[in-house]
Amino acid sequence: MRGKRRRIATVLADALSPRGEALRPAAAAAFAEAVGWPLAREVQLRALTRDGRLLAVARTEEWAAQVRTLAPRIVERVNERLGPGTASDVDVRQGPLER
The reported pTM is 0.79
Q: How far apart are CA 12 and CA 25, in angstroms?
A: 8
- Cβ neighbours around 19 below 10 Å, total: 10
- Cα 55 from chain centre: 9
Residue 26's pLDDT is 84
| pLDDT tens, residue by residue, 31-54 | 999 999 899 999 999 999 989 999
> CA torsion sign, 6 to 13 to 49 to 60?
negative
Domains in the chain and their CATH numbers?
Answer: 8-94 (3.30.300)
| pLDDT tens, residue by residue, 12-26 | 666 765 655 677 888
**Contact call for residues 57 and 46 (beta carbons, < 8 A):** yes
| pLDDT tens, residue by residue, 58-78 | 999 999 999 999 999 999 999
Residue 19's pLDDT is 57
